[in-house]
Chain A
Amino acid sequence: MKKYILKRLLMMVLTLFIVATLTFFLMKMIPGSPLGNTMKLTKAQQLAVEKQYGLNKPVWQQYLAYMGGVLHGNFGMSYQYNSTSVASLIGHRVGPSVLISFQALVLGVVVGIVLGCVGALNKGTWADAASSTLAVIGISFPSFILAILLQYYLGFKLGWFPVANWNGFPSTILPTVALSAVPMAQVSRFVRTEMVEVLNSDYILLAKAKGLSVAQVVFHHALKNSIIPALTLIGPLAVTLITGSMVVENIFSVPGIGELFINSVLSNDYPVIMGLTMFYCLLLCGILLLTDVVYGLVDPRILSKEKGEH
């Protein structure tokens, strides 16, 4: 187990290094200069600004300087936000993103499990059809459209929730709901499939034969065994939430990293783009590693299978 984790950590460092390198050179390939957008400068001023950001040096020196900085947790300065350091910019904005993603995850997983169970237990009835339909709509209906509709009808028309204005729990409700639709659908489909399989297994038949009530069978036996495989969903869910949070934050003006990323893409703020790319990459790798380790602890068979494969 220790050897496995160590191997994965090494791979993760290598991945981050390669991603950082590729992003750096991608950013250098971009046509145009970050200075051209907002400022009309004289030649001398341009040179001064370039010098301040170290843009006048040869590319390989810039690369070494950047990578050296990254090793020390220094991701450079933002071009747009009055030269704040990228690290502190990301640090300040992680909170709201994590908050709505976490809330959306909890909401989506809980509702998803309930819907999946309802579907599996009533297989072939209208309840199953309803939960399956809801899941298909949840997966197919674009989350950013859901966000716009929620914002307009519940926020603007009915005035139940704040439309934007990040301020306390009420303002997190609509982004959370918009963000939770896809995880809800993914979890519900997964749980339903697993549950149908589990409910057909011998030990459930035995539990029923022992005279356990439906509730006992579901909670003590079926649910646990249907949810453990759902741990494999965490990776895809993380990607879903990262993608979803970008647009949802953009629509509801949540001061999070998703909104920051889109803004920096629109304004060519390369240091922030590079910093956030590495941050997302680290986040995703970390989540995947954590899932695999937890999965290995819960169900040791998986880990030995993985080991055999690699």
Chain B
Amino acid sequence: MTKQNTNQATADQFQFADPSKLNSQHDGVAQKSLSFHEKAWHQLKHDHAAMVSLVFLLLVALFSVVSLFWMPHNPNAQNVDLSNLKPFTNGSYILGTDGLGRDMLSRLLYGTRISLMIALFATLVDILIGVPYGLVSGWCGGRVDNVMQRIIEIISSVPELVLIMLLLIVLKPGMVSIIIAIALSSWVLMARLVRASAMQIKSADFVLAAQAMGESPFQIALHHILPNTMGVVITRTMFTIPAAIFLEALLSFIGIGVKAPNASLGTLLNAGEKGFQFYQYQLWEPVLVLSLMMIAFNLLGDGLRDAFDPNTRG
């Protein structure tokens, strides 16, 4: 849902300004000057889809944190007498139980937490590699940039999923390996975006001013370039997280991700798919959680992009 607030007004949209409105809203002198981030937040607040998504994701995060301390049942406690209970038939197991009699709600809470954790750590590593790389590449320019770009080109010539699977074969199976594999294959895009942004900012007057004031190149990169790339970084993050959630689910679904006693959304999908003919809720429940989260992250990402990108701001 890309919202493009184009600046051009066509002839039929042209109308006389209402003087009273003009004074209250558009008078630059009277208005308190807002910082870039305040303006972005102001615009984001008016994007209903993005705000609903933000609230939803905060709730998911809250539930995940609460599930650290309290869950309706132990997500791994098996009870064969109560296996495959349908949702809403047993007061104690609201979302039903799986084939081994484990509480679906607890497993969903647990699985969502693991999936989110993997995605967040992968995104963190992605930022820690991608941002400095892009910053150095864009700020230094010249030969350094050239070499760094060739390296990126080589990495991105291998399709993402192929690279992840190659890394997963080599690394020891486990959560840390999944995080590393996802991060190592996705930082390239972050680096590219930060580089492009850094190159743009490099030619701004305030950088020239900082140079004239005698600041070292390192200081300029840290104090002037880096803060100004944050819009790009935050927006990109909102797309990296759902991509990581998707990749984790995919890998666990295929069977090379999170291993058996642990649950993630991917392993829940895998388990649900096996008994789908008979117990459809066991697949639909993780499907709903996963797809709602994916949609929410994407909508929030779109909203943030519109808010942070000055070109699309009306």
Contact = CB atoms under 8 A, between A and B. Distances in A.
B295 interface: yes
A8 to B, nearest CB: 10
Interface residues of B, number: 45
B169 A280 contact: no
Interface residues of A, number: 52
Contacts, number: 114
B151 to A, nearest CB: 9
B166 A26 contact: yes
Interface stretch (A53-61, A73-81, A135-143, A300-308): A135-143
A30 B170 contact: yes
Contacts of A262: 165, 254
Interface string A6-25: 00000100010011000100
B295 A280 contact: no
Contacts of B146: 310
Given A132-B1, A265-B165, 19 more contacts: A11-B150, A136-B1, A136-B299, A136-B302, A140-B298, A141-B295, A142-B246, A142-B250, A145-B287, A145-B291, A239-B160, A261-B165, A262-B254, A266-B254, A266-B256, A273-B169, A276-B162, A280-B158, A288-B157
A193 B166 contact: no
Given A200-B8, A205-B10, A280-B159, A142 B290 contact: yes
A281 B157 contact: yes
B294 A280 contact: no
Interface of A: 11, 15, 18-19, 23, 26-27, 29-31, 132-133, 135-137, 139-142, 144-145, 148-149, 152, 156, 189, 192-193, 196-197, 200, 205, 239, 242-243, 246-247, 250, 261-262, 265-266, 268, 273, 276-277, 280-281, 284-285, 288, 310
B31 interface: no
10 contacts: A23-B166, A140-B297, A141-B294, A142-B249, A144-B253, A193-B2, A197-B4, A247-B253, A250-B254, A310-B146
A143 to B, nearest CB: 9
Kindly list the 7 A-B residue pairs having the minimum CB-CB distance in the complex, ordered from nearest. Answer: A140-B294, A132-B1, A140-B295, A243-B161, A242-B159, A140-B298, A15-B157
A139 B2 CA distance: 13
Nearest to A139: B298
Nearest to A12: B157
Contacts of A247: 250, 253-254
B92 to A, nearest CB: 29
A81 to B, nearest CB: 18
Contacts of A136: 1, 295, 298-299, 302
Interface string B127-167: 00000000000000000001000100110011111100111
A243 B160 contact: yes
B40 to A, nearest CB: 20
